[in-house]
Amino acid sequence: MKNIKIPIFKLIVVIVCIMLAVTLVFYFAVHNRQDIEYIEIKGDYVIDELSYFSEGRAAVQLNGKYGYLDKDGNEAIGFKYDAALPYLDGKAAVMKGGKWGYIDEKGNEIIPIIYDGFGVSFGKDILLRKQSDYFLVDASGKEVKKFAAIYDLVGELNEGLASAQKGGKWGFIDPEWNIKIPIKYDNVGIFNEGIAPVKSDGKWAYIDKNGNKITDFEYDAIASFCDGMGIVGKDNKYGAVNSKGELIIPLKYTSLNFFIDDVASAGYGEGIGIINNRDKVLVDFKYDDIDYFFDGLAVAQKNNKFGYIDIQGEEVIPFKYDYATPFCEGLAAVEQIVDKNGYLTVINKDGEAMLEMKGLFNVSSFSDGIALVTHDNRLKGFIMNNHKIRRDYSYNQLKRRSEKYKLYSDYY
């Protein structure tokens, strides 16, 4: 871990716990608890990184077309789309013949499939482009406002401002299409907590909603503002600034993750540890890697073995596994390799086995109470979590968070 983990697909995979692979061979049910069950799925379904359960549906492919399965593995919406995204707030974006629209939970078109992209959130509506114009489309599919395409690209409206590109430069516009911050930057992020990252002449800085600089243009890497602080990087060292642009965590770490619940993993020297948002070391820098804390535990790696630690640094589940996923919804998948055979166990937070399997598979983390069991991107079955637990973060909450908080860097 040499850089901030970014919530593009990697951070979505880490914060949101999606598609973290555990390699195994096919054999089931050495033992399982009543509230954890495996359901075998018939059919040659193909999955990708967006194939996870959200609002009771999962988008998968069959014979080259996308559709949706329900939690029983039955076809919920027919396989007729060229692309399909997960459900969010009762609707999903789908593409057919190069055009995009939205369907409801029954597959009815609520926004016609006539637009040139799947659009972005723009207040309570969706901003979609059709030929030479942009349209605001409401939840019923009605075009409530039309804008001329005077901008090449327009981003999500966040905190009353949206990024806009014209002639290769970026700035910010308001909901009425007026330029509020000049289109003069090489790149921009989105506004969070009244602050946005912007890039000029190869360096990054933060600005406020009036376009005033909060920091100088001095950073090689910069992240979306989150919980009153922004992670910054210079000369491959990382720290964080506050809303006044003051360094509150010195540029001394070799890596620094986003803070969740005021804690983050950080690299120092040759190891990884945990610090809080006041730069206090909570867990010594003795691990090879530490992921985010979910359900109070973080998966960590030491001496090529995986286990779990709590926020005090106690090793609560032993470091004996050859791979492990983060906890999601109270469960995690761990793998041990014995005589070249893979053995998967679904465990709870006490380390107790809830389901044991032998074989060569990939197992995703739990989303909407279901983990996908796959082999070579083919869906083989579901592991169902029927246990009612308290969920500090729902999948959709984590995904929305990960979409907002990104790293912008020239290191890659």
The Cα 407–Cα 13 span in angstroms is 15
* Mean pLDDT of the region 19-44: 58
Residue 392: pLDDT band (50, 70, 90) is very low
Within 10 angstroms of residue 398's Cβ, the number of other Cβ atoms is: 24
The Cα 17–Cα 332 span in angstroms is 10
Residue 387: pLDDT band (50, 70, 90) is low
Average pLDDT, whole number, for the chain? 86
Q: What is the pLDDT of residue 8?
A: 38
Residue 272 resides in a domain: yes
Q: What is the pLDDT of residue 25?
A: 34
Residue 345 resides in a domain: yes
Residue 3 resides in a domain: no
Residue 4 resides in a domain: no
Residue 313 resides in a domain: yes
The Cα 162–Cα 156 span in angstroms is 6
Q: Is the torsion defined by CA of 60, 45, 47, 115 positive or negative?
A: negative
Residue 207 resides in a domain: yes
Among the listed ranges 80-89, 312-321, 380-389, which one has the minimum average pLDDT value? Answer: 380-389
Position 397 pLDDT exceeds 70: no
End-to-end CA, the chain: 13
Number of residues written out for the chain: 412
Residue 96 resides in a domain: yes
Residue 155: pLDDT band (50, 70, 90) is very high
What are 401's strand-pairing partners? none
Residue 1 resides in a domain: no
* Mean pLDDT of the region 279-289: 96
DSSP 329-375: TTBEEEEEEETTEEEEEEE-TT--EEEEEESS-EEPPPBTTEEEEEE
Q: What is the pLDDT of residue 357?
A: 82
Enclosing domain of residue 206: 9-409
The total domain count for the chain is 1
